[in-house]
Chain A
Amino acid sequence: MTQAATVTQTALDDEQVVVFDVANEAYAVNIARVHEIIRLQQITVIPGAPACVEGVINLRGKVIPVLDLRKRFSLHATEHTRASRIVVVEISGQTLGLVVDGVSEVLRIAPDRIEPPSPLVTGIDSRYLRGIAKLDDQLIVLLDLDQVLSPVEQQQLEASDLR
């Protein structure tokens, strides 16, 4: 949290992000895209769903899909733990849950700290990335939420006919 104090100068240009862990890496998404963060609950598996889709959960009466970011980033899948959380975000007008290993903090990041993505820095496909924030003792990968879904999934999501 030390670096948090150094960057929490209220510069207007600062970007406020939610930082979470996936497979021991720190990722972040813009806080404006995050609806809420909820505890992991039982996820219902839908047979035949796309591979990265874990299943669905009941979010106060609404059934929303849940994506596993480990699977999405082709990382080694592990059992969910007590620290696991579901980050509820909106992509292409649909509410989605992202399963993460844990949520650590909310940060303000000055724009000059953000560098363009480099595939060498992280193990994951650079198309999911919006940039890398270099903080004093840590690198945070900024996710491009709109790229988290594949073009095909994106199309499915935007298609008008609902099942």
Chain B
Amino acid sequence: MSGQPLTFDATPDEMVVFLSEAEEQMELLSQDLLRLEHEGDTNSELLQEIFRAAHTLKGSSGAIGHQRMAHLTHAVESVLDQVRHHTLPVTTPMIDLLLQGVDALRVLLEEVTTLVESAIAIDDLCTGLNALTTPPPVVAQPVPGKRDESRPYIAQPPGAVATAAPSAALWRVEAQIAPECLLPAVRALQVLLALSGLGTVTRSEPTSEMIEAGQVAAGANVTLWLAPHSADDVAAQIAPTLASVLEVTVQAITPEGHTVAATPPVVPGDQTASLWQIAITFNARCQLPAARALQVVLTCATLGTVAASQPTLEEIEAGQVPVDQPLLVTVSAPGPLDAITAAAHAAIERIPEVQVAYVTPVGVGAQLIAPASSATPMPSASPTPSPVSTPLSIKDGEGAGVGPTPASHAPRMVRIDVERLDALMNLVGELVIDRTRLARISGKLGQMAHDPVLAEELTETCRHLARISDDLQDEVMRSRMLPIESVFSKFPRLVRDLAQKVGKPIDFIVEGKDTELDRSVAEQIGDPIIHLLRNSIDHGVESAERRAAVGKAPAGQVRLAARHEENQIVIDVEDDGHGIDIEVIKQKAVSKGILSAEAAARLSDREAVDLIFASGFSTAEQISDISGRGVGMDIVRTNVERLNGSITVETEVGQGTRFTVRLPLTLAIIRALLVEVAGQTYAIPLTSVVEALRIEREALRSINGRAAIALRGQVLPLLHLRDVFAELTSTGRPAAGTGRPQGSPTGDTAERAARQFVVAVRWGERRGGLIVDALVGEQEIVIKPLGNLFRSAQGVSGGAVLGDGQVAPILDIATLIKHIIATDRGTAVSQGAVA
């Protein structure tokens, strides 16, 4: 089956809506399932919400013709329906199965995009889910194709199935539902309904209630006892009737004794009778005949008083209306036949899918002639045409309480394709560039001042344009913002699975879900956070036994919190585990050859903890399949830094560890400090800039053979960008041990001015200084990717289009600082350390 090409019934624009909605529902499902596991079935709002999600998903997937998806969502929905009605308790195995169902649904959803059937098998899952809703003794798992004679007879509650109609014999009909049948209960119901057309089904196994509750397994046998309407050769009619029901094979039709009933007396027509029988037939394609029957009976109540009906009102309300058998309604109304017939036609045929077959007089007064057995007296109906006002038993409990809702305007939401927002953002970026450009031109013109009034007007217009474009940028940025919940929502499931896997109970706390951030950032931070969560569960939190031994609660606490701080989003991943042992870290680093024992001894505690971010470092005793192949934290750091963010760690032995990730709110437009190096302008993200200084050349020190200055009592190692870039550009790639030319630590001193500019930058806890030729100023820049050709370009993270249209490389501070530190420490400098 897998690999089959698939087609779905939806236009491309419908598909977009379908996909985004389906993804939403699945997300909701998996979140709510975890809540359900936590809260149990006490929160009725949750129960409704989760059921609705499954229900909507079923409807939509059915609508596009995704059978496997519709089938699986149906199984999920059925379980949730029973949970919602408290007929099925919430258990961990149930949640497991439902979560697996959601996982499978995600795979099935992908088929919508790939248009190829995936290899995933859903039959076991559906069987498992159906088994939850099916009490085991009722439908024992049948062996397909084999009749199960030993199945116990299930007693039928009296009156559940229509009382016996006039017939001569009782027939036992046995049919098997095909093992591959998707909706076995529906097939069973069809069998039941089809046979009801021939007579009255006195009993069935499974019972009609069970069938309607969906408690029929594929491959099961269905046995029905039929009391035919007429004494004709019923056996000959049963098989052809059932032949119209798909996926059902008739196994046996056997006569079983006789029942005695009277045939209805035929009364000669009375043109002025007051009791009429109206026979109504259903269209063959009629859906929900019971609903139509109810409409008919309600409509008949407008013609007169409904004295009886067949099927009875109870049967109708229980949904027991065969589509291929006329509905007979006995109405008490005085008048001539023509008038009644005309009125009946007019009123009833407004109802879709039904026709009046005939109207015949059956009696006078309230005296009912036939058929007595199935007649149920109806309460008298008022003649008003409104169906609501009929005195039939209409429950109006909560319904009456529905007052007028406040005339709140529905939120006018519009779905926008992400690509459109991105395009809009790009355009705003262009506008920001032109705005800066225009301001520059205006400034120049103002200096020339051929026409001071006009120049002033231009300046004013530029200022206004600047304000407007600022506002526009804000608005567009805001429209791209989404709550971090969209990222966080998948974590509870992840934590649950991990906790199960490592056998540590975890109490997972999520805070600040509403914190908003730009879509571009949101798309990228998921993986680093997952890594941190895994790390906390795998390495941070102790085993339950160990926690008990040190007097902690058995469940380890993992906290994930987001908040805004200035123009950054700050995310904490914190655990209350055993913390990071600094001595262990140092030993490990030395044994892994990351640094020498002497260097390790010199490290401050903070620096030592930072070693966990070093490439190739892992403190896990065994490599588990959770934290991966020991390539944890350095990858996390690299990914975070690539987003112009930073990561820090704080730890206390025995108390726990907290990782803090700081990210810019957006990746598209940033403020930057522009500097000049060798005649070209470069941009440094302002988030990395500590300060910019002008220094006298005498202030330069040489420490460990490298340029440095003392800044507020601390040594700031320096990097001559001119030298670094000259070397990079001449060789086409960074050479080992660069950062200073051979010989003098300050480079070609003859070319240097007596005063130099240093931009102090920081990355995480680390600081360094970049020596530049000139400071140009601060500007908002639009970040443009440079493309793959420049992947080897170390030290540059992108390009910025400046106000004058020029492109300025954006400096990759993370790499440059690593470069400074690597050369400064005197540790092995390789391309890897720079990369």
Quick check: do A and B touch in the complex, using CB within 8 A?
Answer: yes
Which of A's residues lie within 8 Å of B, judged by CB?
42, 44-51, 53, 56-58, 61-65, 94, 153, 156-159, 161-163
Question: Do B809 and A44 touch (CB < 8 A)?
Answer: yes
Q: Which partner residue on chain B sits nearest A158 by CB separation?
A: B788
Kindly identify, within residues 769 to 799 of chain B, every residue whose CB is under 8 Å from any CB belonging to chain A: 784-799
**Across-interface contacts of B801 in A (CB, < 8 A):** 58, 61, 63
A47-B729, A53-B790, A61-B426 given. 16 additional CB < 8 A pairs?
Answer: A44-B807, A45-B729, A47-B724, A48-B729, A48-B793, A48-B796, A49-B732, A53-B789, A56-B786, A56-B790, A56-B807, A57-B807, A61-B801, A158-B788, A163-B785, A163-B791
Known pairs A56-B807, A58-B806; A46 contacts B790 (CB<8 A): yes
* Cβ 8 A contact of B786, one of A45, A63, A161: A63
**Across-interface contacts of A94 in B (CB, < 8 A):** 787-789
Question: Do B430 and A61 touch (CB < 8 A)?
Answer: yes
How far does the alpha carbon of A157 sit from the alpha carbon of B794 in the complex, in Å? Answer: 17
How far does the alpha carbon of A40 sit from the alpha carbon of B578 in the complex, in Å? Answer: 62
How far does the alpha carbon of A44 sit from the alpha carbon of B810 in the complex, in Å? Answer: 12
Question: Do B785 and A47 touch (CB < 8 A)?
Answer: no
Question: Do B791 and A45 touch (CB < 8 A)?
Answer: no
Size bin of chain B's contact surface: 20 to 34
Question: Do A163 and B790 touch (CB < 8 A)?
Answer: yes
Question: Do A44 and B795 touch (CB < 8 A)?
Answer: no
Kindly identify, within residues 790 to 834 of chain B, every residue whose CB is under 8 Å from any CB belonging to chain A: 790-799, 801, 805-809
Q: Is B768 an interface residue (CB 8 A)?
A: no
Interface of B is mostly: mixed
**Across-interface contacts of B785 in A (CB, < 8 A):** 63, 162-163
Bits for B720-737, please: 1 = Cβ < 8 Å to A, else 0. Answer: 000011001100111000
B14 to chain A, nearest CB (A): 29
Question: Do B725 and A163 touch (CB < 8 A)?
Answer: no
Question: Do A63 and B728 touch (CB < 8 A)?
Answer: no
Q: List 9 A-B contacts (CB under 8 A).
A: A47-B724, A47-B793, A53-B789, A61-B430, A63-B786, A63-B799, A63-B801, A65-B789, A163-B787
How far does the alpha carbon of A72 sit from the alpha carbon of B70 in the complex, in Å? Answer: 58
Known pairs A45-B680, A47-B796, A63-B801; A162 contacts B733 (CB<8 A): no
Known pairs A48-B729, A58-B805; A156 contacts B788 (CB<8 A): yes
Question: Do B805 and A47 touch (CB < 8 A)?
Answer: no
Question: Do A58 and B787 touch (CB < 8 A)?
Answer: no
Question: Do B787 and A157 touch (CB < 8 A)?
Answer: yes
How far does the alpha carbon of A64 sit from the alpha carbon of B790 in the complex, in Å? Answer: 11
How far does the alpha carbon of A48 sit from the alpha carbon of B728 in the complex, in Å? Answer: 5
Q: Is B354 an interface residue (CB 8 A)?
A: no
B315 to chain A, nearest CB (A): 63
A123 to chain B, nearest CB (A): 23
How far does the alpha carbon of A157 sit from the alpha carbon of B771 in the complex, in Å? Answer: 33
Question: Do A48 and B732 touch (CB < 8 A)?
Answer: yes
**Across-interface contacts of A48 in B (CB, < 8 A):** 728-729, 732-734, 790, 792-796
B518 to chain A, nearest CB (A): 17
Question: Do B807 and A63 touch (CB < 8 A)?
Answer: yes
Question: Do A61 and B433 touch (CB < 8 A)?
Answer: yes
A148 to chain B, nearest CB (A): 12
* Cβ 8 A contact of B791, one of A56, A58, A159: A159
* Cβ 8 A contact of B795, one of A45, A47, A51, A159: A47
Question: Do A50 and B789 touch (CB < 8 A)?
Answer: yes
Known pairs A44-B808, A56-B799; A49 contacts B433 (CB<8 A): no
**Across-interface contacts of A61 in B (CB, < 8 A):** 426, 429-430, 433, 801
How far does the alpha carbon of A45 sit from the alpha carbon of B786 in the complex, in Å? Answer: 12
A45 to chain B, nearest CB (A): 6
**Across-interface contacts of B732 in A (CB, < 8 A):** 48-51
A58 to chain B, nearest CB (A): 5
Q: Which partner residue on chain B sits nearest A153 by CB separation?
A: B789
Q: Which partner residue on chain A sits nearest B429 by CB separation?
A: A61
**Across-interface contacts of B784 in A (CB, < 8 A):** 62-63
B810 to chain A, nearest CB (A): 10
Q: Which partner residue on chain B sits nearest A96 by CB separation?
A: B789
Most A Cβ at <10 Å: residue of B430, B734, B791, B806: B791
**Across-interface contacts of A58 in B (CB, < 8 A):** 801, 805-807
A6 to chain B, nearest CB (A): 40
Question: Do A46 and B796 touch (CB < 8 A)?
Answer: yes
How far does the alpha carbon of A51 sit from the alpha carbon of B805 in the complex, in Å? Answer: 25
* Cβ 8 A contact of B789, one of A45, A57, A156: A156
Question: Do B790 and A159 touch (CB < 8 A)?
Answer: no
How far does the alpha carbon of A162 sit from the alpha carbon of B786 in the complex, in Å? Answer: 8
Question: Do B806 and A46 touch (CB < 8 A)?
Answer: no
A152 to chain B, nearest CB (A): 10
Bits for B92-126, please: 1 = Cβ < 8 Å to A, else 0. Answer: 00000000000000000000000000000000000
**Across-interface contacts of B734 in A (CB, < 8 A):** 48
**Across-interface contacts of B798 in A (CB, < 8 A):** 163
How far does the alpha carbon of A159 sit from the alpha carbon of B792 in the complex, in Å? Answer: 13
A65 to chain B, nearest CB (A): 5
How far does the alpha carbon of A65 sit from the alpha carbon of B724 in the complex, in Å? Answer: 21
How far does the alpha carbon of A67 sit from the alpha carbon of B734 in the complex, in Å? Answer: 20
B341 to chain A, nearest CB (A): 75
Q: Which partner residue on chain A sits nearest B734 by CB separation?
A: A48
**Across-interface contacts of A157 in B (CB, < 8 A):** 787-789
Q: Which partner residue on chain A sits nearest B789 by CB separation?
A: A65
Most B Cβ at <10 Å: residue of A45, A46, A61, A157: A46
How far does the alpha carbon of A47 sit from the alpha carbon of B793 in the complex, in Å? Answer: 6
B675 to chain A, nearest CB (A): 14
**Across-interface contacts of B789 in A (CB, < 8 A):** 49-50, 53, 65, 94, 153, 156-157
* Cβ 8 A contact of A156, one of B433, B728, B791: B791
Most A Cβ at <10 Å: residue of B793, B795, B805, B807: B807
A97 to chain B, nearest CB (A): 12
* Cβ 8 A contact of A49, one of B430, B793, B806: B793
B437 to chain A, nearest CB (A): 11
How far does the alpha carbon of A46 sit from the alpha carbon of B426 in the complex, in Å? Answer: 23
A66 to chain B, nearest CB (A): 10
